[in-house]
Amino acid sequence: MRTVTYSAACSLDGYIAGSDGSFDWLYFSPDVEELMGQFWSTVDAVLMGRKTWEFSAGQDFSAEESSGDGTAADLSGIPPVTTYLFSRTLPEAPDGVELVTSDGGGFVNRLKQQPGKGIFLMGGGELATSLFEAGAIDVVSLNVHPVLLGSGVPFFRPQSRRIALELTESRAIDGGCVLMTYRVRN
């Protein structure tokens, strides 16, 4: 069965973007480049909610513009993937993405049964919360940066149940960042 990985860089206080959407605190290094290259080679599908999609659609992902800018670099030069955009309010699918208007958990659990590579759940928030609740997330991976942002977009949102995890990797990488990966005990 395909694996859904929820992964992001975050601050020690758990934000994946500053309150003004800022990503200037992200630290790029050969370590991160290598990790991201490895990760992208294992996935062929990306899940995102409307807000994440609108944000990423507004970015310039050209290599020239992205150097030194973490978010942009996240998406530059990645292999072809199918992007599933979850929204109940968008009237039609934007170019290049598949719009999912049905129940997210049910859709993703069916998608996992289909043949394919790994599935990357991108961005924080409501979609992740609903997929946690549906038991659809298999791996959680964080690149914890050495900063307290104080406010912003949280990686984890409140949810109704406790979820047990199993630590599968933890190591310091360049820039005082700590990579932590967990298997979700669904």
Residues that bind a copy of itself (CB under 8 A): 12-14, 18, 25, 132, 140, 142, 144, 146-151, 156, 158-167, 170-172, 176-178, 180, 182
At its nearest, how many Å lie between a copy of itself and the CB of residue 146?
A: 4
Helix/strand/coil for 7: strand
Helix/strand/coil for 35: helix
* Residue with tokens 């659990």, as numbered in its chain: 109
At its nearest, how many Å lie between a copy of itself and the CB of residue 174?
A: 11
Nearer to a copy of itself, 35 or 163 (CB): 163
β-partners of residue 6 are 121, 140
How many residues are present in the chain? 186
Nearer to a copy of itself, 45 or 144 (CB): 144
At its nearest, how many Å lie between a copy of itself and the CB of residue 135?
A: 12
Strand-pair category, 15-18 with 4-11: unpaired
At its nearest, how many Å lie between a copy of itself and the CB of residue 11?
A: 9
Dist. CA 60–CA 76, nearest whole Å: 9
Nearer to a copy of itself, 25 or 61 (CB): 25
Nearer to a copy of itself, 9 or 177 (CB): 177
Dist. CA 142–CA 72, nearest whole Å: 18
